Structure 1
Amino acid sequence: MFGLFNRIPTITTKQLEAELNKKPTILDVRMPGEYRLGHIPGSKNFPLNKIEQYKGKTEDKLYVVCQSGMRSKRAASALQKKGFDVVNVRGGMNQWNGTVRGGKL
């Protein structure tokens, strides 16, 4: 169906945590309600169902995260087809042990 199967690079949540000091562009593709329950500091909420409308800079590396890694993989694939440099965060927020914004009262 696609002709070329471009493998999407993946990193672990630990590797992403080590990158946070570089202020990476992190797209959280979960629904807004999930995002509000807790997200990686500095991440932008851009739900998977709207990913086709994403208008970032194609030269910026995008780290894509969701709850488990499945939606982010689909989002990363769609973004890669549009020319973005994407990295899927394997395991998503289920594996994230770093600082979380929101969600806590």
Structure 2
Amino acid sequence: METVVSPSAIPTVSISDLPKDRVALLDVREDDEWAAGHAPGAKHIPLGELPERVSEIAELTDGPVYVVCRSGGRSARAAAWLNASGWDAVNVEGGMKSWHAEGRDVVGQPGAEPEIL
């Protein structure tokens, strides 16, 4: 995954501008981050596995896929790679930290308080 794109060339959306319903959300964080807390309904594919599992995105949507990580760095890389590969991908600015700060729902392990790692 060697796509290098200027950050300003990557489509980006803030959490406040992200629709609350029917959003195809792809979380590219690592397994432990996902387990600790993630957006309900998101698809989890760690960044390092994305090239091998990219076909799973078709299950999410035939429209744009919104890519999220912890704070926006990994998701920007993933969105750039996806766009270069023919997908319609948008980076979620501020990642799950902003998601949580905006009061959006977060789920985690059963019986544990969800947190953003």
Match of 2:50 in 1: 51
Q: What do residues 69-92 of structure 1 show as CA deviations (whole Å, max 9, x unaligned)?
A: 000000111111110001100010
Whether 2:9 is the aligned partner of 1:10: answer no
Matches within 5 A, 1:1-105: 7-16=9-18, 19-21=19-21, 23-53=22-52, 54-55=54-55, 56-57=57-58, 59-96=62-99, 97=102, 98-103=104-109, 105=112
- 8 Å contact kept, 1:67–1:92: yes
May I ask how many residue pairs the two structures share in their alignment? 101
Any runs of at least 4 consecutive aligned residues in structure 1 with deviations exceeding 3 A, and if so which?
none
Identity score, percent: 40
Give the CA deviation at 1:7: 1.5
Alpha-carbon RMSD across the aligned residues, in angstroms, is 2.2
Q: Is there any run of 5+ residues in structure 2 with no aligned partner, and where?
A: 113-117
CA apart distance, 1:15? 1.8
CA distance in structure 2 between the partners assigned to 1:63 and 1:49 by the alignment: 17
Comparing both structures, which one devotes a greater share of its residues to strand?
Answer: 1
Provide TM-score, normalisation by structure 1: 0.84
